[in-house]
Amino acid sequence: MSRIRVAVIGAGSISDFHLQSYQHNKRAELYAVCDMNGERAKQKADRFGAVRTYTDYRELLADPNLDAVSVCTWNNTHADISIAALRAGKHVLVEKPLCRTVEEALRVQAAVRETGKTFQIGYVRRYDDNAQLVREFVDRGEFGQIYYAKASYLRRFGNPGGWFADKDKSGGGPLIDLGVHVIDLMWYLMGRPKAENIKGHTYRRLGDRMNLKQHLSLYQAADAGSGPNNVEDMANAVIRFDNGASLMVDVSFSLHAAKDENIVKAYGDKGGFELDPVLSMTKELHDTILNITPQTDTPGLDVPRAFQNEIDHFVDCCLTGKRPISPVEDGVEMMKILCGIYESAESGREVTF
Ligand SMILES: NC(=O)c1ccc[n+]([C@@H]2O[C@H](COP(=O)([O-])OP(=O)(O)OC[C@H]3O[C@@H](n4cnc5c(N)ncnc54)[C@H](O)[C@@H]3O)[C@@H](O)[C@H]2O)c1
């Protein structure tokens, strides 16, 4: 097979990146769009040139013309749709987070192992060119052993509303939505050590601050404006790994901060690096400190390019049988970490694995 036929399930905000990236991939044919909101599915199918639309993912999955799907629906549906797709013989790219709980993650992992189909998690930050460049330096030992890392994803006004704000559908707030990006990225670059213990805190003090909409714009879910807001405003945690390394993280949807803040930094015994806000490396040489600026096309994160890389990788894995760089096993580990932070925050105690 030289091409695969793909469908995107969930035609909301993030689906555009999947649809346009498939459109640009010569080894993929964009075949169908599925959304329980039929009008939305049709609109995206027309815009991106898909020939079929569905409102029920089960009907889509029964279509023998289809080889692979992107799952871009609410978090509470990721596990069931992924498992149904795998059992229908389709390859699956699922948006982050893998799901809401460790139990759901293990069910997906069992289905991947049972079916042998390609399964990739959309940890898009791993697919950024700069992240891959740093990964190469890490693999070549340029930073030595990374023993401390720091990640922040702070939005001062950034609760997307709709299902994101409804814990039953999302599994949580900024931790599971934004934290997953940077915790996963750091954990991947640190060499995927096992989490040993976690101390976490969550706060609900400000709410969604929709009063600010009068003056400020924000990323919103397709169905924003409906449903409850019962997720945390912000979370922080220290995660300690079995190699002694620690990762400090803080994330927010709502915070009295002067500006949004993205930080991804790591420190090893031979050097350090920063990916956010801009790519840089630090080394010691001949009794001084060198701050190094690697030359790349983009000094910071290039989101459309990262999505294109992610989709290209998925299509390649489907066609060649290669193992994706963000496999289901990493999703299981990430769900243990995220749920461990929530558990620690709730109990007020450190969680030990
Ligand atoms: N990688 C990233 O940077 C990134 C950014 C934003 C969102 N996401 C993830 O993408 C997913 C979707 O987020 P979004 O912002 O597009 O949300 P959204 O609300 O804008 O869109 C979700 C769509 O899924 C549809 N849907 C929900 N359940 C369905 C079902 N059972 N069958 C068919 N359609 C269904 C909804 O009708 C809606 O159109 C989430 O898991 C989110 O975490 C990832």
> Do residues 35 and 171 both lie within one domain?
no
Nearest residue CA, atom 27 of ligand 1?
73
d(Cα 262, Cα 284) in Å, to the nearest integer?
A: 26
> Do residues 104 and 169 both lie within one domain?
no
> Do residues 217 and 273 both lie within one domain?
yes
Q: How many domains does the chain have?
A: 2
Pocket test for ligand 1, best of 20, 58, 74, 223 (most atoms within 8 A of CB): 74
285: exposed, middle or buried (Cβ count in 10 Å: 0-12, 13-18, 19+) = exposed
> Do residues 161 and 275 both lie within one domain?
yes
Q: How far lies 104's CA from each of 53, 107, 185, 328, 344, in Å?
A: 28, 5, 22, 12, 20
Ligand 1 centre from 14 Cα, in Å? Answer: 6
Q: Tell me whether residue 328 is in a domain.
A: no
Q: What is the pLDDT along the chain (353 residues), one digit of tens a residue?
A: 799 999 999 999 999 999 999 999 999 999 999 999 999 999 999 999 999 999 999 999 999 999 999 999 999 999 999 999 999 999 999 999 999 999 999 999 999 999 999 999 999 999 999 999 999 999 999 999 999 999 999 999 999 999 999 999 999 999 999 999 999 999 999 999 999 999 999 999 999 999 999 999 998 898 888 789 999 999 999 999 999 999 999 999 999 999 999 999 999 999 999 999 999 999 999 999 999 999 999 999 999 999 999 999 999 999 999 999 999 999 999 999 999 999 999 999 999 99
Q: At what angle do helices 102-115 and 328-347 cross, to 10 degrees?
A: 170
Pairing mode, if any, of strands 288-292 and 280-285?
antiparallel
Q: Tell me whether residue 322 is in a domain.
A: no
> Do residues 57 and 164 both lie within one domain?
no
Q: Tell me whether residue 326 is in a domain.
A: no
d(Cα 329, Cα 351) in Å, to the nearest integer?
A: 21
Closest ligand 1 atom to the C-alpha of 37? Answer: 37
> Do residues 172 and 107 both lie within one domain?
no
Q: Which residue type is seen at 183?
A: I
Pocket test for ligand 1, best of 19, 20, 35 (most atoms within 8 A of CB): 35
> Do residues 26 and 132 both lie within one domain?
no
Q: Tell me whether residue 312 is in a domain.
A: yes
Q: Tell me whether residue 130 is in a domain.
A: yes
Cα 27 off chain centre by:
24
| Sequence-ordered list of residues with C-beta below 8 angstroms from that of 330, at least 6 positions apart, any chain | 121, 123, 184, 188, 192
Nearest residue CA, atom 25 of ligand 1?
10
d(Cα 30, Cα 62) in Å, to the nearest integer?
A: 17
d(Cα 273, Cα 24) in Å, to the nearest integer?
A: 32
Residue 8 belongs to domain with CATH number: 3.40.50.720
The side-by-side arrangement of strands in the sheet containing 52-54 is 52-54, 28-34, 4-9, 68-71, 91-95, 119-122
Q: Tell me whether residue 323 is in a domain.
A: no
d(Cα 340, Cα 40) in Å, to the nearest integer?
A: 36
> Do residues 218 and 140 both lie within one domain?
yes
> Do residues 120 and 131 both lie within one domain?
no
Pocket test for ligand 1, best of 13, 100, 177 (most atoms within 8 A of CB): 13
> Do residues 95 and 174 both lie within one domain?
no
Place of tokens 């609900």: 204
Q: Tell me whether residue 107 is in a domain.
A: yes
Nearest residue CA, atom 21 of ligand 1?
12
Pairing mode, if any, of strands 119-122 and 91-95?
parallel
> Do residues 120 and 146 both lie within one domain?
no
**What local confidence, expressed as pLDDT, does residue 89 receive?**
98
Pocket test for ligand 1, best of 9, 14, 77, 108 (most atoms within 8 A of CB): 14
d(Cα 124, Cα 92) in Å, to the nearest integer?
A: 15
Place of tokens 């599971």: 176
Tell me if residue 78 falls in helix, strand or coil: helix
d(Cα 244, Cα 226) in Å, to the nearest integer?
A: 44
Q: What are phi and psi for residue 65, nearest 5 degrees?
A: -75, -15
d(Cα 150, Cα 107) in Å, to the nearest integer?
A: 31
d(Cα 30, Cα 293) in Å, to the nearest integer?
A: 39
Ligand 1 centre from 328 Cα, in Å? Answer: 19
Q: Which residue type is seen at 17?
A: F
Ligand 1 centre from 12 Cα, in Å? Answer: 5
Domain span at residue 239 reads 126-302+334-352
Give the number of other CB atoms < 10 A from CB of residue 348.
Answer: 8
Taking every pair of Cα atoms in the chain, the longest distance, rounded to a whole number of angstroms, is 66
| Token couple for 314 | 């998925």
Residue 259 belongs to domain with CATH number: 3.30.360.10
**What local confidence, expressed as pLDDT, does residue 21 receive?**
98
Closest ligand 1 atom to the C-alpha of 224? Answer: 19
> Do residues 178 and 267 both lie within one domain?
yes
Q: Tell me whether residue 271 is in a domain.
A: yes
Closest ligand 1 atom to the C-alpha of 222? Answer: 20
Q: For residue 277, say if its preceding peptide bond is cis, omega within 30 degrees of 0.
A: yes
**What local confidence, expressed as pLDDT, does residue 333 receive?**
98
Ligand 1 centre from 325 Cα, in Å? Answer: 22
Ligand 1 centre from 310 Cα, in Å? Answer: 17
Record the pTM. Answer: 0.97
Q: Which residues line ligand 1 (CB under 6 A)?
A: 9-15, 34-37, 40, 57, 72-75, 77, 95-96, 122, 124, 162-163, 177, 221-223
